[in-house]
Amino acid sequence: MTRTDEQVAVDMESAHIRCTPDGTWHFSVEDKASGIAGEWTHTGNGFPMWYGKETPQTYVPHSISYGYIWAGKVEGTLTIQGKEVTIRGADQRERYYAVDACPAEVGAWHAWMWFHFDELSGNLDEMKLSKHKDMALYLNEEKRYVQAGDFRIDHHDWAYNPTTGTFVPSRYVVTTETEAGVLEFTGSAVGSHAASSVGESPDSPTILLDWPRVEGTFTHSDRRRQTLTNGLGGTLIRQWKPYPDLLVGGAQFQPLDVPRV
Amino acid sequence: MTTLVGTFDAGTVAAWRIGIQGLRAGEPVLRMIPTWYIGTDLDPAWEFPFKGQGWRVVVDGDVPLDTTIRFTWPTEEERSLVGYGNASRPVNAVPYVCAVRARHRHILRTAPDYCPLGLTSQQRPVTDKEYGPMKVANPEVTLDEEAHGFPTEARNTAVIGWNLVAAAHGDDGKQYWFNTGLMSLAEGWGNLDFWQMCVRSTPGQVVQPSGSVHRVAGSHPASQPSGTSRPVARSP
């Protein structure tokens, strides 16, 4: 990683990120082994949700972090097996620098969620084991940043996820209450990706759940109810441990060559 | 009182009970109260559902029940064989309670009047200051945060990363989900730098397999390109 007055550059072989002062990250990634490459830009919307800035966030004594997650827009190209596709959508970037990262102790029911509409965007982070809830919203029209409130994530339509040997919620219903208003939205998974797992039971795998869309409303504090448009989002969950593999075929785990963090 | 396991003088402990509760929203929904005694002639008097050994099971619900399950094993015979049963639960619990880190002891809710070893003194409430929501005075992102390396107080399992997850529509009519990350791990993780990227495009669906009682989350079809992770040799 190198820094100048104009940018911060992170380079690892054929993966590169350029972080610039205007709040954008520029990615250039090529994975020859899988035939995937991409050039895209993330632009954060408003302000991020901070894990820690002036002070660290202590989830548990063995998980102490600084950094942020930030929902925004993504635009660029993906090249898959030689075919280039222009893409446009939404995303969440994360800057993370941890004093200590111990997934086992962070443990159960970690939901790491982002959402982006034309009207607002934001992030939620809940770790039920450590009783930790963080959130941030940014309302575009009002240019209002909200980093306090409460939220509730309801899990529905549980289904067995063979790639991790776990049961996962496939539909999420989320309600956030802030002084600016109440945000309600739903997202349903159409796929998943085990982002970090040793693939053996017991483990605490992190699982990205892909949502094709997010539908929601925002009820302003003056009771004006607004239907939100062009919603995208997703979540990463960390479960306490896979469902007992002797019951539902967890022996089919595919070990992943990914460090367990 | 003389028993097969010894004599108990008047004024000494002749019985004890411990209450174990399962709570939901702060209200008990399950409660177990084992009562151990060497006789029922106590001061002050306790109520016993029956004499001898066994269980009284009370269900307060749509189908209310009040049942008694009596052991036919003679109490005196059982007492001579496992007369240490009173002490076994708290004594065996000592190393486990001591091993639990202080911040997790708040989950060990013992009723003080049922706790002969005084374990409640180990409880430590979790405060909002420790686990409250993070608020920052200035939420702006600067290059200082973008360039931040391992914190000065980093332990050997420190991690730094630049990550992204995205959901986007392609000009080919497909939807794409992708994630990428560049991370550095401290010596506890093997002094490793690595990056990863994964792209998914074809939606899966949740299905109910024939004859199953559960549903299966059909992930993105495996035939599509997915991506890999790449360990990177760290510069000296």
Q: Output the average pLDDT for chain B.
A: 75
Least confident of A168-177, B34-43, B87-96, B144-153: B87-96
Q: What local confidence, expressed as pLDDT, does residue A95 receive?
A: 97
The pTM score is 0.70
ipTM of the complex: 0.91
Residue of B nearest to A32 (CA): B227
According to DSSP, residue A20 is labeled -
User: Which residues are CB-neighbours of B28 under 8 A, at least 6 positions away?
Assistant: B21, B22
According to DSSP, residue B233 is labeled P
Q: Which of A102, A114, A132 sits opposite B157 (nearest CB)?
A: A102
Dihedral (C-alpha) B122, B126, B130, B133: value to the nearest 10 degrees?
Answer: 170
pLDDT (tens digit, 9 = 90+) per residue, B94-105? 777 666 654 444
Which is higher by pLDDT, B222 or A166?
Answer: A166
Are B153 and A99 a contacting pair at CB < 8 A?
Answer: yes
Least confident of A190-199, B55-64, B110-119, B218-227: B110-119
- Which residue is associated with the tokens 């993780």? B189
Q: Is the pLDDT assigned to residue B65 strictly greater than 80?
A: yes
Which is higher by pLDDT, A6 or A251?
Answer: A6
Which is higher by pLDDT, A27 or A63?
Answer: A27
Restricting to B residues 33-72, those with a Cβ less than 8 Å away from any Cβ of A are none
Which is higher by pLDDT, B73 or B54?
Answer: B54
What residues of B are in contact with residue A25 (Cβ under 8 Å)? 162, 164
Q: Strand, helix or coil at B107?
A: helix
Q: Give yes or no for B136 touching A (CB within 8 A).
A: yes
Restricting to B residues 213-232, those with a Cβ less than 8 Å away from any Cβ of A are 214-217, 219-220, 225-230, 232
User: How many residue pairs from chains A and B have C-beta atoms closer than 8 A?
Assistant: 290
Burial of B109-144, coded b for 16+ CB within 10 Å and e otherwise, reads ebeeeeeeeebeeeeeeeeeeebebbebeebebebe
**Predicted confidence band of residue B113 (pLDDT cuts 50, 70, 90):** very low
Q: Output the average pLDDT for chain A.
A: 86
**Predicted confidence band of residue A83 (pLDDT cuts 50, 70, 90):** very high
Q: Give yes or no for B100 touching A (CB within 8 A).
A: no
Mind telling me how many Å the CA of A235 is from chain B's nearest CA?
A: 9
Are B158 and A101 a contacting pair at CB < 8 A?
Answer: yes
pLDDT (tens digit, 9 = 90+) per residue, B190-213? 888 888 888 998 888 888 777 776
Residue from A128, A130, A68 nearest B136 by CA: A68
Q: Give yes or no for B5 touching A (CB within 8 A).
A: no
**Predicted confidence band of residue A240 (pLDDT cuts 50, 70, 90):** low
Residue of A nearest to B203 (CA): A190
Beta bridge partners of A214: A187, A231
Restricting to B residues 158-187, those with a Cβ less than 8 Å away from any Cβ of A are 158-172, 174-180, 182-183, 185
Best of A80, A176, A197, A207 to disrupt the B interface by mutation (most B CBs within 10 Å)?
A: A80
**Predicted confidence band of residue B118 (pLDDT cuts 50, 70, 90):** very low
Cα separation of B127 and A140, whole Å? 34
Residue of B nearest to A214 (CA): B167
Q: Is the pLDDT assigned to residue B181 strictly greater than 80?
A: yes
Are B192 and A192 a contacting pair at CB < 8 A?
Answer: no
What residues of B are in contact with residue A211 (Cβ under 8 Å)? 167
What residues of A are in contact with residue B217 (Cβ under 8 Å)? 159-162, 168, 170, 189, 192
Are B159 and A96 a contacting pair at CB < 8 A?
Answer: yes
Count CB atoms within 10 A of the CB of residue A101. 26
What's the rounded mean pLDDT across residues A60-87? 93
Q: What local confidence, expressed as pLDDT, does residue B82 receive?
A: 55
Q: Is the pLDDT assigned to residue A248 strictly greater than 50?
A: no
Which is higher by pLDDT, B39 or A144?
Answer: A144
pLDDT (tens digit, 9 = 90+) per residue, B8-57? 888 888 888 878 888 888 788 888 888 888 888 888 888 887 777 788 89
Which is higher by pLDDT, A210 or B205?
Answer: A210
Mind telling me how many Å the CA of A176 is from chain B's nearest CA?
A: 14
Q: Is the pLDDT assigned to residue A257 strictly greater than 70?
A: no
Q: Which of B151, B165, B182 sits opposite A92 (nearest CB)?
A: B165
pLDDT exceeding 70 applies to what percent of chain A? 85
Q: Which of A135, A136, A159 sits opposite B215 (nearest CB)?
A: A159
Residue from A222, A124, A109 nearest A175 by CA: A124
Q: Which of A74, A96, A131 sits opposite B126 (nearest CB)?
A: A131
What residues of A are in contact with residue B174 (Cβ under 8 Å)? 85
Cα separation of A11 and A164, whole Å? 31
Q: Which of B131, B139, B166 sits opposite A131 (nearest CB)?
A: B131
Q: Is the pLDDT assigned to residue B108 strictly greater than 50?
A: no
Which is higher by pLDDT, A148 or A153?
Answer: A153
Q: What local confidence, expressed as pLDDT, does residue B219 receive?
A: 63
B208 vs A212, B106, B221, CA distance in Å?
21, 41, 17
Q: Which of A54, A88, A167 sits opposite B137 (nearest CB)?
A: A54
Q: What local confidence, expressed as pLDDT, does residue A207 receive?
A: 85
Which is higher by pLDDT, B137 or A45?
Answer: A45
Give ∠ CA B129-A155-A163 in degrees, rounded to 5: 105
**Predicted confidence band of residue B132 (pLDDT cuts 50, 70, 90):** low
Q: Strand, helix or coil at A212?
A: coil
Residue of A nearest to B191 (CA): A259
Are A87 and B171 a contacting pair at CB < 8 A?
Answer: yes
Residue of A nearest to B180 (CA): A29
Cα separation of A218 and B232, whole Å? 44
Mind telling me how many Å the CA of B62 is from chain A's nearest CA?
A: 25
Tokens of A74: 């993504």
Least confident of A48-57, A107-116, B102-111: B102-111
